[in-house]
Amino acid sequence: MTTRAVVRGLGHYLPERVVENDEFTRTLDTSDEWIRTRSGIERRHFAAEGETTSQMAARAARNALDDAGLNASDIDAIILATSTPDLTFPSAATMVQNELGMTGGFAFDVQAVCAGFIFALANANAMINSGMAKRILVVGAETFSRILDFEDRATCVLFGDGAGALVLEAQPGTGNKDDRGILAVDLNSDGSQRDLLYVDGGVSTTGTAGVLKMQGPELFKQAVNKLAETALAALEKAGLEAHDLDWIVPHQANIRIIAGTAKKLGLTMENVIVTLHDHGNTSAASIPLALSVANQQGKFKEGDLLLLEAIGGGLAWGAVVLRW
Ligand code: ACO
Write out the H or E segment, with its range, that includes residue 128: helix 116-129
CA 78 remoteness from chain centre: 15
179 vs 303: CA distance, rounded Å? 8
The pLDDT of residue 251: 98
253 CB within 6 A, ligand 1: yes
Q: How far is it, in rounded angstroms, from Cα 136 to Cα 166? A: 8
Residue 308 phi, psi (nearest 5): -105, 135
How far, in Å, is the centroid of ligand 1 from the Cα of 216?
A: 5
**Cα Rg, the chain, nearest whole Å:** 18
Ligand 1 pocket mutation, candidates 38, 117, 219, criterion most atoms within 8 A of CB? 38
Judgement on whether residues 319 and 223 belong to the same structural domain of the protein: yes
One domain, residues 273 and 312 = yes
Check whether residue 134 and residue 260 sit in a common domain: no
Residues 163 and 232 in one domain: no
State which ligand 1 atom lies nearest to the alpha carbon of 115.
Answer: 50
In a shared domain, residues 209 and 190: yes
Q: What is this structure's pTM? A: 0.97
Clarify whether residues 41 and 166 are in a common domain: yes
For the stretch 48-79, pLDDT in tens is 999 999 999 999 999 999 999 999 999 999 99
Same domain for 169 and 34, yes or no, is: yes
What gap in Å lies between CA 212 and CA 316, rounded to an integer? 16
Cβ-contact 165, 119 below 8 angstroms? no
Q: Are residues 153 and 265 in the same domain?
A: no
- CA angle in degrees (0–180, nearest 5) for 2-140-280: 130
How far is ligand 1, taken at its centre, from the CA of residue 187, in Å? 26
- Supply the residues annotated as catalytic: 114, 251, 281
Same structural domain for residues 298 and 211?
yes
Residue 282's domain comprises: 181-323
Q: Tell me how crowded residue 260 is: count the other CB atoms within 10 A of its CB.
A: 18
For residues 133 and 206, state if they share a domain: no
Does the CB atom of residue 217 touch ligand 1 within 6 A? yes
The residue out of 148, 173, 198 marking a domain boundary is 173
pLDDT digits (tens, 9 = 90+) for 145-165: 999 999 999 999 999 999 999
DSSP state of 8: E
- Does 216 sit in the ligand 1 pocket, CB within 6 Å? yes
Any atom of ligand 1 within 6 Å of the Cβ of 283: yes
- Quote the pLDDT of residue 188: 98
- Out of 173, 195, 216, a domain closes at 173
Task: Categorize the per-residue pLDDT at 1 as very low, low, confident or very high, splitting at 50, 70 and 90.
Answer: confident
Residues 151 and 292 reside in one and the same domain: no
Q: Is the pLDDT of residue 321 over 90?
A: yes
- My answer on whether 165 and 21 are in the same domain is yes
Domain boundary among 133, 156, 173: 173
219 CB under 6 A from ligand 1? yes
Which numbered atom of ligand 1 lies nearest the CA of 24? 7
Kindly report, residue by residue over 78-137, the tens digit of the pLDDT. 999 999 999 999 999 999 999 999 999 999 999 999 999 999 999 999 999 999 999 999
Residue 310: which residues within 8 A CB-CB, separation 6 or more? Answer: 114, 115, 116, 117, 118, 227, 250, 251, 286, 287, 317, 318, 319
Q: What's the Cα-to-Cα distance from 160 to each of 47, 96, 157, 260, 284, rounded to whole Å?
A: 9, 20, 9, 22, 11
Each residue's pLDDT tens digit, 164-209: 999 999 999 999 999 999 999 999 999 999 999 999 999 999 999 9
From CA 134, how far away is CA 8, in angstroms rounded? Answer: 12
Which residue's C-alpha comes closest to atom 13 of ligand 1? Answer: 154
Total structural domains within the chain: 2
Domain of residue 306, CATH code: 3.40.47.10
Determine the pLDDT at residue 128. 98
- Ligand 1 mean position, distance from CA 217 (Å): 6
